């Protein structure tokens, strides 16, 4: 049993280890280790396409995770007070959002956005003053942010709600008995208590958005995110540069995940 578990862990971590090892390969060939070197990291960092893609990815991840954290928390807090069929429907939909494969979300968002653009663009052009080029809504960083926010909001709702339901009701009741306004209660009692969960939701949304390929592939338009860049370079062949990018991305997500875990665990402990 123990040996079996050990083997599964090996299965889970060897591929990651191999990528990390070969990212430090001095040789040009991706499949033969020829000594230690960090030159592929330098190559990746000085590649303008990589840096562009990284910037896009970071912007999208940061903005969409912020939106998701804010709106997700609002939704979770709002749902607290609601019972009955409305609540059940929302609960169902939140799980549906997580269960639907990314590819269907990608396609659906692509079609929906293009339909909206086709409708809105002529309207803007019609009301725009003569002679000035009207702005044209298009697929790009905006649509990426919108799609990621929509998808990751569900994550935030689930995490924040778990924390809210573990919260002692007496606290908010005491606060309102002591004449705090609902907003005051939220700001001074609820928010500090659920803050670790919001932050954890933010971090998870960030990693999700940063690592997402399939939704971005459909809605990015002419923008290139880091996963899209990596995907198209893999198609051209395996290089140590991709290993270096991959290792960096994995390391970054690992650090964020560990932070998230610590936040959630600390929350759990406080609760007890």
Partner 1 sequence: MVMLVLPLTVVLIFSFGERGASGGYVPAFTLEQYANLPARWTAFKNTMVLAPIGTISSLLIAYPLAYFLAVRADPKWKTVLLVLVIVPFWTSILIRSYAWIFLLGGRGVPAFIDWIGFGSVRLINTPFAVLVGIVYGYLPLMVFPIFVSLDRLDKRLLEASSDLGATPTRTFVQITLPLCVPGIATGCLLVFILLMGEFLIPALLGGGKVFFVGNALVDLFLQSRNWAFGSAVAATLVFIMLISVTIYMRLISRLGTRREDVSLM
Smallest gap from residue 245 Cβ to partner 1 (A): 8
Element (H, E) at 250: helix 240-271
Contact window for partner 1 (CB under 8 A) among 27-35, 36-44, 119-127, 158-166: 27-35
Backbone angles phi and psi of 25, in degrees to 5 = -75, 130
Q: Which residues contact 32 (CB under 8 A, 6 or more apart)?
A: 25
Contact between 261 and 204 under an 8 Å Cβ cutoff? The reply is: no
User: Site for partner 1 (CB under 8 A): which residue of 145, 204, 244, 263?
Assistant: 204
Contact between 240 and 22 under an 8 Å Cβ cutoff? The reply is: yes
Size of the site for partner 1 (CB under 8 A): 59
User: Site for partner 1 (CB under 8 A): which residue of 58, 62, 107, 162?
Assistant: 107
Closest to partner 1 by CB, 162 vs 214, is 214
Smallest gap from residue 262 Cβ to partner 1 (A): 11
User: Site for partner 1 (CB under 8 A): which residue of 34, 38, 115, 138?
Assistant: 115
Q: How many CB atoms lie within 10 A of CB 101?
A: 9
Closest to partner 1 by CB, 194 vs 249, is 249
C-alpha–C-alpha distance, residues 272 and 92, integer Å: 29
Considering only residues 132 through 191, tell me which ones interact with partner 1, judged by CB under 8 A: 150
DSSP SS3 for 25: strand
Q: Dihedral (C-alpha) 124, 126, 129, 132: value to the nearest 10 degrees?
A: 70
Residues of this chain that interact with partner 1 (CB under 8 A) are 1-2, 4-5, 8-9, 11-16, 18-19, 22, 30-32, 89-90, 93, 96-97, 99-105, 107-112, 115, 150, 204, 207-208, 211, 213-214, 217-218, 227, 230-231, 234, 238, 242, 246, 249-250, 253-254, 257, 261
């Amino acid at each position: 049993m123990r040996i079996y578990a050990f083997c599964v862990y090996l299965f889970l971590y060897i591929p990651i280890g191999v990528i990390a090892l070969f990212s430090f390969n001095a040789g040009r060939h991706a499949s033969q280790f020829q000594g230690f070197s960090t030159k592929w990291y330098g190559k990746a960092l000085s590649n303008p396409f990589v840096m562009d893609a990284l910037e896009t990815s970071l912007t999208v991840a940061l903005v969409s995770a912020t939106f998701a954290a804010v709106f997700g928390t609002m939704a979770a807090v709002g749902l607290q007070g609601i019972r009955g069929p409305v609540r059940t429907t929302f609960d169902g939909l939140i799980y549906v959002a997580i269960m639907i494969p990314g590819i269907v979300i990608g396609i659906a968002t692509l079609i929906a956005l293009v339909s909206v653009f086709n409708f809105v663009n002529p309207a803007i052009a019609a009301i725009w003053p003569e002679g000035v080029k009207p702005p044209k809504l298009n697929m790009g960083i905006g649509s990426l942010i919108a799609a990621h926010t929509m998808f990751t909001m569900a994550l935030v709702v689930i995490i924040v709600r778990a924390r809210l339901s573990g919260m002692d009701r007496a606290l908010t009741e005491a606060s309102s008995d002591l004449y705090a306004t609902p907003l005051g209660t939220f700001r001074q009692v609820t928010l500090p208590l659920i803050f670790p969960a919001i932050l954890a939701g933010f971090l998870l949304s960030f990693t999700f958005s940063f690592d997402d390929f399939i939704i971005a592939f459909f809605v990015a338009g002419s923008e290139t995110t880091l996963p899209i860049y990596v995907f198209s370079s893999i198609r051209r062949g395996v290089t140590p540069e991709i290993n270096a990018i991959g290792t960096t991305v994995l390391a970054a997500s690992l650090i964020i995940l560990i932070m998230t875990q610590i936040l959630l665990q600390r929350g759990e402990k406080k609760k007890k």
